[in-house]
Every structure is written in C-alpha cells, then in structure tokens.
C-alpha cells in the first residue's frame, strides 16, 4: 500500500530533510509540498538537492491544501502547527516536527513559548524507556497524531533515560552541555549564523535554564521514572552544519557501579535498531551519524566526582527531527520501523 503524503514547511531545513528521507521510502508518495513566503516556487528552487522531487511546486500552507492526504508532516515554526491541525480530519496521520504538541504541562508552554496551548500528542521517541517498563513505541501504535521531540531533547534523553529508569543515576543535578550545528537554528537568515561569524568560533546560547527544550527534557526523564528531575542544559553553537554532541552527566546513585551503569544502558538499547551503546572506552563523533537515523552513546564513570558521563551523537536533522518523524510514522502505521531510514552515516 502506498500512502499519499503532504509536507508543510517544505522550504526549510527540517522540511527539506523530511522530503529527502521520504524520497527513498517505498511506501510514502509525496504529492503536496507547502510553504509560506516561498509558495509558488518550484521545490527545486529552494531545495535544489532534492532532484527526484524537483517538479513539485510549493503551495500555500493552508488546511485546505493539506487535507485529503493519508499522512501530513508539519515542519513549521512553533505556534503555526496548532492553528492547522484542528482543521484536519481525524483519520489523517499528522506528524508534527515542531513544538506545539510536545509539552503536557500548559504552564511550561506558557513560560517557555507563550501563546495558545494546543495540547499534547503521543510523543515520537520510540526508544524512550518508560518507568513501568516497555518503551514509548507502544504508545505510538495506531496513533493519528504524533509530536516529534526537539533535537537537543533527543540527544539528552537517550543519553540519560536508561540510567534514570533503572535507578543507577540520580535524577536531580543533571548537567548537559551540547555542541550543536547551525542547521538547528533553522534556515532564516540571522547575522550570528553567517560564515564570517560562526567559522573559527564557538558560543553559548540560551544559558541559565532559558532554552525552550528544558521542560521537555524534564518531562521525558520523569516519564522514565525520574523524581524531582532538575537539569542544567547549555547548548553551544559550533561551526558545523549538522550534528549534536551531548555531554550529559548525572550523580551515580548509591550502590551503583560502573558495571551496573553499563548494564542498564546495554539492556535498554540491546534490541534497538537506531540507538547503539559503544564499547567501553569508545566515544562517538558527530561525523559518524551524518545522514543516519542513529544515536551513538559512549559511557564513562568519573569515580572521583561520583558522576556518570554519557556522550551522545546524533544528526540533528535526522534522528533529531526528520528521521524520528518517519520512524514514528512507520510505527503508527504498522510498517517496519526502520523502513526508509539509514543506520549508516556518510564519511568523510
């Protein structure tokens, strides 16, 4: 069976990556692409690398243009998805790559985003361990609405959740420092992202608990079993177009050992197609995940500090956004979870 697909926000980085992956998916047929200011242009004008979809023409992002498809992927700025989704048929699978439906707490939405709160949807991180056992994928089977995680959230969550779920890590005093590629900031022209500003430099942003992904990280780790979760999360903009390298640390729980920490992570991800725990002493590079839907995790225990350190690498546009969207859609539709998605990165 072939599913007709529309992609809203197709001219941006996230929308372009959704389209790149969909182009290789054997069960999805892209029939409609939409945009705001770029409506009326051929897709090849704004996404010239998508040669197999070059003849598509961008139309206005309206509920009318999105209606009638089996699957709709939304890659829109926050506040824009919620305005559209209520107008679409309940039988349509809608996968939102934006923030509008991620948070379960309306107060957190008001504090970190503002504007109308549109409610939470089933969360599109299949590998997330749940406190009572199992994983989040169980909640995605048959879903018609899916909220894709934030890219930074995915890297931190995957790098900490198994330890929280099994109790080998304390869930307070979590610290995460992320090196983040510039595509995470979107395609809009911004002075701080031009080559002369970013090349040869690294800079922190959203410092001091102000990043909008903070409540989402706390939400996920609470779902994994964390009590009184606190996290200090600082992203660092670095001169690479793609990738996130998340260094996340947590206090080693009383009685836990380096062996029990490794066992918790290896057991949690043993059967996962896209999340791989590296052997002891090995740590990932962002380059190893470029173009792939994989998350690579390295583990270490700092015995002097009494902390566990996890290093997680993902491609922010694939496992951090578009790949997670398609992976979750596969689960919802009963397709093989890995269909259309790569585990191998691109090198050099």
**What count of other Cβ atoms lies within 10 Å of the Cβ of residue 116?**
13
For 295, the 3-state DSSP assignment is strand
For 308, the 3-state DSSP assignment is strand
| Residues 6 or more apart in contact with residue 344 via CB below 8 angstroms | 292
Catalytic residue among 33, 46, 151, 221: 151
Residue 124, both tokens: 């599109």
How far apart are the C-alpha atoms of 58 and 42, rounded to whole Å? 6
E strands within the chain? 3-8, 28-35, 58-60, 71-74, 93-96, 145-147, 174-180, 203-204, 231-237, 244-251, 275-277, 295-302, 307-314
| Residues 6 or more apart in contact with residue 30 via CB below 8 angstroms | 5, 6, 7, 19, 22, 23, 53, 56
151 in catalytic set: yes
What per-residue string of b and e applies to 338-348 under the rule 16 or more CB within 10 Å gives b? ebbbbeebeee
Residue 23, both tokens: 């182009």
Question: Is 80 buried (19+), middle (13-18) or exposed (0-12) by CB count in 10 A?
Answer: middle
Residue with tokens 């999805």: 28
Catalytic machinery residues: 151
């Amino acid at each position: 069976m072939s599913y007709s697909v529309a992609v809203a926000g197709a001219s941006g980085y996230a929308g372009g990556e959704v389209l790149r992956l969909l182009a290789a998916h054997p069960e999805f047929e892209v029939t409609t692409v939409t945009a705001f200011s770029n409506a009326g242009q051929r897709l090849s004008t704004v996404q010239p690398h998508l040669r197999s979809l070059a003849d598509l023409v961008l139309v206005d992002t309206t509920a009318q243009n999105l209606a009638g498809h089996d699957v709709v992927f939304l890659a829109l700025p926050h506040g824009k998805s919620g305005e559209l989704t209520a107008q679409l048929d309940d039988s349509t699978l809608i996968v939102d790559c934006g923030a509008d439906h991620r948070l379960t707490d309306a107060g957190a939405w008001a504090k970190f985003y503002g504007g109308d709160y549109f409610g939470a949807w089933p969360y599109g991180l299949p590998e997330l361990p749940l406190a009572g056992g199992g994983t989040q994928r169980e909640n995605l089977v048959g879903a018609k609405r899916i909220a894709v995680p934030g890219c930074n959230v995915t890297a931190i969550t995957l790098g900490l959740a198994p330890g929280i779920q099994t109790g080998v890590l304390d869930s307070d005093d979590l610290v995460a420092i992320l090196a983040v590629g510039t595509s995470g900031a979107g395609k809009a022209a911004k002075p701080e992202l031009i080559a002369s500003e970013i090349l040869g430099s690294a800079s922190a942003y959203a410092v001091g608990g102000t990043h909008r992904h903070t409540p989402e990280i706390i939400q996920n780790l609470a779902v994994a079993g964390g009590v009184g979760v606190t996290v200090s999360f600082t992203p660092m903009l670095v001169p690479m177009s793609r990738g996130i390298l998340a260094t996340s640390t947590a206090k080693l729980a009383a009685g836990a050992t380096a062996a029990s920490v490794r066992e918790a992570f290896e057991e949690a991800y043993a059967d996962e197609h896209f999340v791989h725990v590296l052997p002891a002493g090995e740590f990932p590079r962002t380059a190893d995940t470029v173009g792939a839907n994989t998350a690579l995790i390295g583990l270490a225990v700092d015995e002097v500090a009494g902390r566990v350190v996890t290093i997680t690498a993902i491609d922010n546009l694939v496992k951090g956004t578009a790949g997670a969207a398609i992976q979750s859609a596969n689960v919802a539709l009963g397709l093989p979870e890995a269909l259309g998605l790569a585990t191998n990165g691109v090198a050099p």
